[in-house]
Structure 1
Amino acid sequence: MGLEIYNPKNKLKFIDSKENDGYKELIRWVFTKTANIESDLGRDLLKFDLDDYKVFFKERSINKQTANLYLSVFRQYVDWAMKNVPTAPSQNILEEIPDDFIQEIARKPRTKYLHSQEIGEIAKLTNTNHYNYPPLHNAQDRALVFLLFSGVMGSAMEDLINIKEEHIDFEANQIYIPSNDRSVTILPVGMQLIKNALNESTYRRYISSDDKAHGGVENKLTNSDYLFRKAVVGNGSVDTDGKMTRPAFQKRLVTLKSWLGIDNFTANTIFHSGLINRCKLYIDKYDKLTKETLDPAFDAYGISDGMVRYQKINFIKQHLPDVYGKHYDQYVKKYNSDR
């Protein structure tokens, strides 16, 4: 994977003991995150005490759910080593963690809306890993998150549902949205995500164990010219055109919410996180917050109704400083004083 694992001999044997390829990938990813502190301390995770684990977690700034994911991997690794590694400890200190341990190491509750850097890491647009989210398996999911953040949603998610390959112009970096007859300009890195999603033929399930229910680790995607397609599960029956539906998108997002450990990971939240970011870019560009400076952002997100735009300005005033810092309070105060 291009990332190093500290003391890989035992860890790779532990990884190989798992049957599920998706879970193997997750464990490998976790071990790449512990490599630095293991190297600094000069000892394997097997030799860590609770204070060592606390140092690791506090440096990561992760939420409660992701902390539990890490701890599950660590606990299994120690259990495996106790049976297979002569130098392993005789007792697994992670079996009985004090009640206040998770509360102490977990990141405090976050703002509802997502920072652009978070979206970049979730969709693999950057090589940074400040937020420490586990990787998304599927190009379909990364493209979904990116397009929602870019303002492509529509009523009942019809903008996303109806995108076909013929609507995507890779030379102009644009997607035509047939449901409301508009074109959306997409960053080149986003177009690569879309190309990967079009080329994807299987969909990997998000599971945290060796469970093989519901058709195993991967399911075939339906063969159609829609960008987003259903996975064939069970007896293989699926709608003839294979395109997604609003409930199918919602189900995927609920799964991603659980996988990432983000409480408010919904289509609406991702869309409005993108709107906040787009408005921020125009405020930065013109050094002011006015209706006129924000109109291009509303245009890009398909918000045409004047009353809705007025409501969105109030929304931006409320949430922009929470997501991008109190620096933006000055623009909110200036807007309010000028009215």
Structure 2
Amino acid sequence: MHEPATVRSRAAADRWERLPDDLEAPVAELLGAELARRTLGLETVTALLVVSMSRRGSRSFTAVCQWPRLHPLNERAVAVRHHPLIMVESTRQLAMALRHRRLPESGTPPLRAVSVRLGLHAAALPTEQGSATDVAVQLTVSDLAADSGGLAAYRVTAEFAHAARPLGWCSMRFARATPQPPPAAEAGPRAGLLHPPAGAVGAAADTDVLLARAPQAGLVILPRDPGHPILLAGRPALLPAPTVLEAGRQAVMLTSGSTAEAVVGLSVEIRAAVPWRGAGVEVTTEPCGARFAVTVGPQLCATGTVALLRP
């Protein structure tokens, strides 16, 4: 006889709250530098953004992050505004560290991010001229769910601040992906596809560009750097949710002519697996931004939004 889902979810929440507090130290020290790299899915230890975490309530935590001025997604300049995906990546790393230390999953397939939402206080984002920006984080865990295989889903919401000034927030939901083969996509790029310049998609460098297009044709996901250390860490066959989000953001920047500084909100919902190249991206303009859809043939794989400052 199967337990009701609500009973299993309550058990997952109770187990979380009974676990001892063991995060009162630097994350790299707690996990070990190499384990931290593997656990958080990083190419190198230098990509670690989370400095420390501590528990403040049954499902609430505080953390400190450092955002390097020379982060791979940032522009190479004396003074830079951090790329919005650094906030998303910080949230992902916090979620992975919490899951590893507090409620390890025991089932298969593994949990993956299936939803990302980001809100930015554009006027408050600092300009970094030193080595890194120290960022305080308030973290909450919600929507815990379990099944017979263990932890089945949870949500992490992070609120970021610098010098006591709110910068924005990010919510990320993780769930057990349904086993499925990668959707059919072209094995290679179509003839005539060209990558837009980095500035046209709000990227810092040409290697960060995820899209290509052909004359009289739509946009296609085709990363210029298949081994990008952040967007494609580990060369995955399927795109992670934050990378799909960035592809949608770039598509909106390209089609709307907006600047990266105009972005105040981002979201993506993953509906089916997105191959690392070959999926199409369609953009629909709205009064305060745009919507995007990622498709493989007739299959809708992801949907998302980009909110822009009013002109």
Q: Could you say whether these structures have the same fold, taking a TM-score greater than 0.5 normalized by the shorter chain as the test?
A: no
Q: Report the TM-score, using the length of structure 2 for normalisation.
A: 0.29
Bigger helix fraction? 1
Q: Report the TM-score, using the length of structure 1 for normalisation.
A: 0.27
